[in-house]
A and B are shown apart, each in its own frame.
Chain A
Amino acid sequence: MSPVYDKLVDLLVDRFAVDRAAIGPDVTFEELEMDSLFLVELLLVIESEFQVKIGEEAAAPTDTIATVVKVIANEIAAAAP
């Protein structure tokens, strides 16, 4: 899909013990059994790994992976010189 997507998938697999085969752009965090607590943790990890600032409200358990990829990509673009 995109480098951002690939990196996010790697984070989900390596840091959150998500089954790689279960992940897809249209899959929601809920479907990956990631609740709101895990999502807060994920957003912290995303900020650290992608060097972006995103709020705690950037994603909800019902959002898809693609939604968060878009949020990250937008932040990266906004931060670009």
Chain B
Amino acid sequence: MSAAAPVAVTGLGLVTAAGIGTEATWDGVCAGVSAATRNPALEGLPVDISCTVPGLDPARHVGRRSALMHDRFTQLAIVAAREAVADAGLDPAQWDGARVGVVVGCGLGGVSTWEEQHRRMLEHGPAKVSALLVPMLVPNMAAGNLAIDLGATGPNFVTATACSSGATAIGTAAQLLREGACDIVVTGGAEAGVSPLMVTGFAQMGALSRRLDEPAAASRPFDAGRDGFVIGEGSGILVLEREADARARGARVRSLLAGYGASADAHHLTAPEPEGRAVLAAVRAALEQAGTAPGDIGHVNAHGTSTRLNDAVEAATLRTALGDGAAVTSTKGVLGHTLGAAGAIEAALTVLAVERSLVPPTANLEQLDPAVELDVVAGGPRKTALDAALSTSFGFGGQNAALVFVAA
């Protein structure tokens, strides 16, 4: 195997339904209690539950002007990125912005803005449509506005691979560092897809849980009684640097991103390819780049959406790829499915698991699906030494991404 040079993770920022901030999110997933609740904004729709970020005051968290001109997905990205950059001990006023890249995954963009302005046009005519419509809704604005906020003038773009977007962004960011295009990359994902139209669209696909009377029990990855995911929102941002650079400036290296693999099912719009061949290829590519043997992976933060199809195919594929030695969890049990942000939020949680030798539990796992032949952690967090861990992400369209993190 020819391992690539690892990349250091020096900063983390998280905004999720479990709270604002990395520690709030970590505490939430370790508590293993789902953050899903009834959402008044979805009242009357076929599905009215979601995992929504509590207590976000845009005026206070991103500033009054930014609160007016940014869709929620951009606001979430700004909050997470500021935390990540501060966590990395970096000061944007001091850095050479030309050497700082921003790569942020986003599956949908400003869908709430789209819906609100479309409603205005239908009800009141074109004169009522905001001039800020376009700059608020286009999905590149998470990355674009982070550049403005952080003074980062290096390579800047959004990756859109549906629910893999955040993981694709992180893997791509590592490549930018290895090829020398920049010295620091602020990367991750952001999504605020809890809008009436989007929730209805996912519900019409049959992708969402209908356990509406008990929202906190609805997201139950790998459980025999699972019936779909709970839509969520959030952002996860990582600061990446070449390991040598991070060590040279005395940064705290939280863990190392050692491997990234990507593939496409080339099979179906939404259903995973039943044999999981492409997923297997992505996992194996990530392991190979990391120079890690399958048996070395002590933990998997699985995609684990809590849909019948995903969890069954994923479990079988992970079993084939790794055997049954890894402690598997799906943090979507607590946080719901944050779509384009999920891969990044879960990557950040994998970094924390490796750093802290602690695997969070899978919420609501009462009876493991007998077809899932994996060691899925349930009940409470599990203390275990971790040298290497894997985070898997799969998007509609059959787009797969796998990230391997190793202890610093």
Which residues of A are interface residues toward B (Cβ below 8 A)? Answer: 15-17, 33, 37-38, 40-41, 44, 47-48
Contacts and interface: CB of A to CB of B under 8 A. Distances in A.
B127 A47 contact: yes
Interface in B90-136: 127-132, 135
A37 B65 CA distance: 13
Interface in B170-227: none
Contact of B68 (A15, A40, A47, A48): A15
B67 A41 contact: no
Contacts, number: 27
A44 B68 contact: no
B356 interface: no
Contacts of A15: 68
Nearest to A43: B131
Given A15-B68, A17-B67, A37-B131, 11 more contacts: A16-B68, A17-B59, A17-B63, A17-B64, A33-B65, A40-B131, A41-B131, A44-B129, A44-B130, A44-B131, A48-B128
Contacts of B59: 17
25 contacts: A15-B68, A16-B65, A17-B59, A17-B63, A17-B64, A17-B65, A17-B67, A17-B68, A33-B65, A37-B131, A37-B132, A37-B135, A38-B69, A38-B131, A40-B131, A41-B130, A41-B131, A41-B132, A44-B127, A44-B128, A44-B130, A44-B131, A47-B127, A48-B127, A48-B128
Contacts of A37: 131-132, 135
Interface string B28-70: 0000000000000000000000000000000100011101110
Which of the four size classes fits the interface of chain B?
A: 10 to 19
A34 to B, nearest CB: 9
Q: What are the 5 closest A-B residue pairs judged by CB atoms, nearest first?
A: A17-B64, A40-B131, A41-B131, A17-B65, A17-B68
A33 B64 CA distance: 13
Contacts of B131: 37-38, 40-41, 44
A69 to B, nearest CB: 20
Nearest to B128: A48
Nearest to A44: B131
